[in-house]
């Protein structure tokens, strides 16, 4: 039974020259030696008072006893084991399972209720929520605080806050209660009540270490150790073996210190999210401003990408009527000095033979009158080859296109546009197989062209198209194409191809009078511009998201600084570094997810409003999900540094902060 619970061997503690602020006035402050060789044995079940004048080193000693701080030299044995070998998690375990702290300044978390404050140590010990709640309530009721479970610390008197702190110290068993001037800030009556409680705890078998400057208070303990200038000058008890064992020895042993029982990750996250929400809510205005940054970022990503791809699509739609790889060749109008010569079929063959030309379609056109029964309709008449459908991307929606055989036998067949069909077949007759007169020549309708709508200010559907040979022989009396449609293979080479066409035809015709309308190059340039525009809008939006992220980081850094003491309190009650990291990361991610959600909603509203205003927009679900994901990622990335700063805080330093 000789093994002390805690044994200190020649413990020394000095604050390095870095802490020169405590020795202002001195030119070169020597390292202040605060504890100068403390050797001490404390046994389970003892009620010890450590008494000394202010500045004698009592609090420093308590921080070392409670593993909130490490000594500069000397050995600290906890149940015979040297604490120097413990890592941060094992020390957190010790604070969580073995110690319960009661401070002069209470050190409650201001945003949490009395009951929630009491629950904190159990939270880090992984006790299930329901059990935690029952135990915290029972402890507070035992300390006559049952009526104030949901009060926040600022709604409680000093004596009440100290009772909450005592309940918190007992939450995980409180084998060793470390009380640093617990009555220091209290009126005499509340102080007496707190002392009575400590006495009762000592009676119940808890080891109580009371630190005080007041000899009368110290006198209530069963062993009094006096300390002066960092040295023990008197000890009333000496090495007395313990009589009673602690009633609530924790089941876990130090062996599994680093993997102490843990609640499930989901429960942990739930708890972290709840606490984070509480903090966000208590800083509504600031959180709202931060959120605004994220909301604007996400909403602008969604809206700008929608507008960008909307205009891109509109540009493409303008050209897609006749295929994006199609250009047109026509002869220049002749003048008095340079009489123009029309295109010929030989020109068509020349063009067909050029590199990068995939297909050609000569088109001969003039105004015609189409008649069915007693209805006359003026339309564009055209003659072309079977290449037409391919080159212009223009097929039939009903019936058939005329074919090579029709071309060979100069067949009197026609395909009609939608407008012509409406004009002549208003009675609902199926046009396929019907006869019409084109400029008084009978043709049989074999197909109806797909609708193209209006392009270049002309109704493209107001036309009849017949085989080139038939148009030449039976309608127009010549075979000079009005224009040639050329489909190129590679859009990038369009300019070269256009030049080659002009050069080759000039060589053949001995006069440079053929013009190529190179819309392919225009399309390529325009769509590249539209794409660049979309990218630029996206970039601007992404930048605003990054700016929002920096706002999050700023607020998180501020939060961590403001709540340094809270971090210290949580560490003193046994939080691991990962617990702190997780808590602050959760806060950052919660802010950004809420911001992301609102941002997506605002973005959708903007897109909807633009749609109503007839602005071409293309809504992208992927962009929305991406923007939301980026927002959350922003929280993770920009929240990490502040959260890690918080997790790396030294418990004593954090506790000492204001
Ligand atoms: P007590 O609790 O007995 O009043 P403390 O242990 O708080 O005394 O402090 C003992 C001495 O150590 C004091 O002179 C104090 O100025 C000094 N001290 C305490 N903490 C620090 C610190 N973090 N840095 C430098 N000096 C410190
Ligand atoms: Mg002190």
Distance in angstroms between the alpha carbons of the first and the last residue of the chain: 43
Task: Look at the pTM and tell me if it is higher than 0.75.
Answer: no
Dihedral pair phi/psi, residue 256, rounded to 5°: -100, 35
Range of the domain at 506: 333-512
Residue whose CA is at the smallest distance from ligand 1 atom 5: 57
In a domain, 58, yes or no: yes
Per cent of the chain over pLDDT 70 is 92
Bigger pLDDT: 497 or 272? 497
Whether pLDDT at 22 is above 60: no
Residue 557 pLDDT = 84
Whether residues 340 and 282 share a domain: the answer is: no
Query: Total domain count for the chain?
Result: 3
Which ligand number lies closest to the CA of residue 653? 1
Whether pLDDT at 37 is above 60: yes
Closest of 342, 322, 347 to residue 331, by C-alpha: 342
Tell me the best of 13, 14, 15 to mutate to test the pocket of ligand 1, counting ligand atoms within 8 Å of each CB and taking the most: 15
In a domain, 322, yes or no: no
Whether pLDDT at 19 is above 60: no
Closest of 369, 410, 367, 404 to residue 387, by C-alpha: 404
Segment 123-133 shows an average pLDDT of 89
Contacts of 614 (CB under 8 A, 6+ apart): none
Q: Region of 230 please: left (phi>0), alpha (psi -120 to 50) or beta.
A: left
Whether pLDDT at 491 is above 90: no
Tell me the best of 22, 51, 210 to mutate to test the pocket of ligand 1, counting ligand atoms within 8 Å of each CB and taking the most: 22
Whether pLDDT at 27 is above 80: no
What digits encode the pLDDT tens for the residues 399-419?
A: 999 999 999 999 999 999 999
Closest of 364, 361, 365 to residue 351, by C-alpha: 361
Segment 496-525 shows an average pLDDT of 85
In a domain, 152, yes or no: yes
Segment 584-601 shows an average pLDDT of 90
CA–centroid distance, residue 29 to ligand 1 (Å): 14
- Flag the least confident range among 79-83, 153-157, 332-336, 450-454: 332-336
CA–centroid distance, residue 24 to ligand 1 (Å): 14
Tokens of residue 496, six digits: 């070269």
In a domain, 71, yes or no: no
Confidence label for 438 from pLDDT (cuts 50, 70 and 90)? very high
Cα gap 105→535, rounded to integer Å: 56
Instruction: For residue 653, give the ligand 1 atom closest to its CA.
Output: 23
The structure tokens 């920009």 sit at 638
Whether residues 164 and 203 share a domain: the answer is: yes
In a domain, 381, yes or no: yes
Dihedral pair phi/psi, residue 643, rounded to 5°: -65, -40
Q: Are strands 231-235 and 463-467 parallel, antiparallel or unpaired?
A: unpaired
In a domain, 422, yes or no: yes
Whether residues 149 and 218 share a domain: the answer is: yes
Work out the angle at residue 464's Cα, subtended by the Cα atoms of residues 463 and 465, and round it to the nearest 5 degrees: 120
Q: How many residues are present in the chain?
A: 658
- H-helix segments, 182-283: 188-203, 215-218, 265-282
Cα gap 188→360, rounded to integer Å: 106
Instruction: For residue 21, give the ligand 1 atom closest to its CA.
Output: 25
Cα gap 484→359, rounded to integer Å: 10
Cα gap 31→79, rounded to integer Å: 31
Work out the angle at residue 290's Cα, subtended by the Cα atoms of residues 284 and 293, and round it to the nearest 5 degrees: 140
Residue 360 pLDDT = 92
Segment 226-237 shows an average pLDDT of 90
Bigger pLDDT: 30 or 137? 137
Dihedral pair phi/psi, residue 171, rounded to 5°: -55, -45
Tokens of residue 210, six digits: 């009371």
Whether pLDDT at 276 is above 90: no
Confidence label for 245 from pLDDT (cuts 50, 70 and 90)? very low
Q: Are strands 231-235 and 441-449 parallel, antiparallel or unpaired?
A: unpaired
Tokens of residue 460, six digits: 């493209």
Q: Which residues line ligand 1 (CB under 6 A)?
A: 15, 19, 22, 32, 34, 52, 54-60
Bigger pLDDT: 358 or 538? 358
Hey, which bits of 176-230 come out as E strands? Answer: 176-180, 207-212, 223-228
Cα gap 284→280, rounded to integer Å: 6
Bigger pLDDT: 451 or 244? 451
Across the chain, mean pLDDT equals 86
The structure tokens 């540094």 sit at 641
Neighbouring C-beta atoms of residue 226, cutoff 10 Å: 18
Residue 8 pLDDT = 94
Whether pLDDT at 119 is above 90: yes
Confidence label for 23 from pLDDT (cuts 50, 70 and 90)? very low
Q: Are strands 223-228 and 47-51 parallel, antiparallel or unpaired?
A: parallel
Whether residues 342 and 303 share a domain: the answer is: no
Residue 21 pLDDT = 47
In a domain, 343, yes or no: yes
Using CA of residue 479, residue 483, residue 487, residue 488, what is the dihedral sign? positive
Whether residues 502 and 535 share a domain: the answer is: no
CATH number assigned to the domain comprising residue 186: 3.40.50.300
Segment 292-300 shows an average pLDDT of 89
Segment 41-70 shows an average pLDDT of 93
Residue whose CA is at the smallest distance from ligand 1 atom 19: 60
Residue 339 pLDDT = 61
Cα gap 205→201, rounded to integer Å: 7
């Amino acid at each position: 039974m000789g093994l002390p619970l805690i044994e200190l061997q020649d413990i020394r503690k000095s604050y390095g020259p870095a802490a020169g602020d405590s020795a202002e006035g001195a030119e070169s402050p020597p390292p202040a030696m605060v504890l100068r060789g403390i050797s001490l044995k404390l046994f389970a079940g003892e009620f010890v008072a450590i008494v000394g004048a202010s500045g004698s080193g009592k609090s420093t000693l308590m921080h070392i006893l409670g593993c909130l701080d490490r000594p500069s030299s000397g050995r600290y044995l906890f149940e015979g084991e040297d604490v120097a070998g413990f890592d941060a998690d094992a020390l957190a375990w010790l604070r969580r399972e073995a110690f319960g702290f009661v401070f002069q300044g209470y050190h409650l978390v201001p945003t949490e209720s009395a009951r929630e404050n009491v629950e904190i140590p159990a939270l880090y010990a992984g006790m299930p929520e329901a059990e935690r709640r029952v135990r915290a309530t029972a402890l507070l009721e035992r300390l006559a605080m049952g009526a104030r479970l949901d009060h926040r610390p600022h709604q409680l008197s000093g004596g009440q806050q100290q009772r909450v702190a005592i309940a918190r110290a007992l939450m995980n068993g409180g084998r060793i209660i470390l009380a640093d001037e617990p009555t220091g800030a209290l009126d005499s009556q509340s102080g007496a009540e707190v002392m009575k409680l400590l006495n009762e705890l000592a009676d119940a078998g808890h080891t109580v270490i009371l630190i005080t400057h007041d000899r009368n208070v110290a006198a209530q303990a069963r062993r009094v150790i006096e300390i002066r200038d960092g040295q023990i000058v008197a000890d009333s008890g000496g090495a007395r073996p313990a009589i009673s064992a602690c009633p609530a020895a924790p089941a876990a042993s130090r062996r599994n210190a680093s993997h102490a029982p843990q609640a499930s990750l989901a429960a942990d996250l739930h708890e972290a999210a709840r606490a984070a929400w509480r903090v966000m809510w208590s800083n509504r205005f600031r959180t709202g401003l931060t959120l605004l940054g994220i909301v604007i970022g996400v909403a602008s990503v969604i809206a700008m990408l929608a507008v960008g791809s909307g205009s891109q699509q509109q540009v493409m739609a303008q050209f897609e009527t006749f295929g994006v790889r199609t250009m047109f060749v026509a002869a220049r109008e002749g003048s008095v000095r340079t009489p123009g010569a029309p295109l010929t079929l030989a020109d068509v063959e020349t063009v067909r033979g050029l590199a990068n030309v995939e297909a050609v379609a000569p088109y001969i056109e003039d105004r015609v009158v189409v008649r069915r029964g007693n209805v006359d309709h003026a339309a564009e008449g055209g003659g072309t080859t079977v290449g037409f459908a391919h080159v212009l991307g223009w097929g039939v929606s009903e019936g058939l296109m005329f074919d090579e055989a029709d071309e060979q036998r100069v067949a009197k067949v026609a395909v009609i546009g939608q407008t012509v069909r409406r004009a002549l077949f208003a009675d609902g007759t199926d046009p396929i197989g019907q006869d019409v007169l084109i400029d008084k020549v009978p043709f049989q309708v074999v197909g109806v062209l797909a609708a193209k709508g209006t392009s270049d200010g002309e109704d493209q559907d107001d036309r009849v198209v017949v085989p080139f040979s038939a148009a030449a022989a039976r309608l127009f009396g010549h075979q000079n194409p009005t224009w040639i449609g050329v489909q190129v293979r590679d859009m990038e080479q369009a300019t070269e191809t256009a030049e080659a066409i002009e050069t080759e035809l000039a060589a053949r015709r001995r006069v440079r009078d053929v013009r190529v309308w190179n819309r392919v190059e225009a399309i390529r340039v325009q769509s590249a511009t539209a794409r660049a525009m979309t990218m630029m809008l996206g970039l601007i939006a992404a930048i605003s998201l990054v700016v929002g992220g920096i706002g999050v980081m700023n607020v998180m850094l501020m939060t961590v600084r403001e709540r340094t003491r809270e971090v210290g309190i949580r560490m003193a009650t046994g939080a691991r570094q990962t617990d702190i990291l997780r808590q602050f990361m959760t806060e950052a991610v919660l802010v950004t997810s809420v911001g992301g959600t609102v941002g997506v909603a605002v973005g959708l509203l903007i897109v909807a409003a633009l749609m109503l205003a007839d602005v071409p927009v293309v809504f992208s679900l992927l962009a929305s999900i991406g923007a939301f994901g980026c927002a959350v990622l922003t929280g993770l990335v920009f929240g990490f540094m502040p959260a890690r700063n918080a997790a790396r805080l030294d418990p004593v330093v954090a506790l000492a902060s204001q």
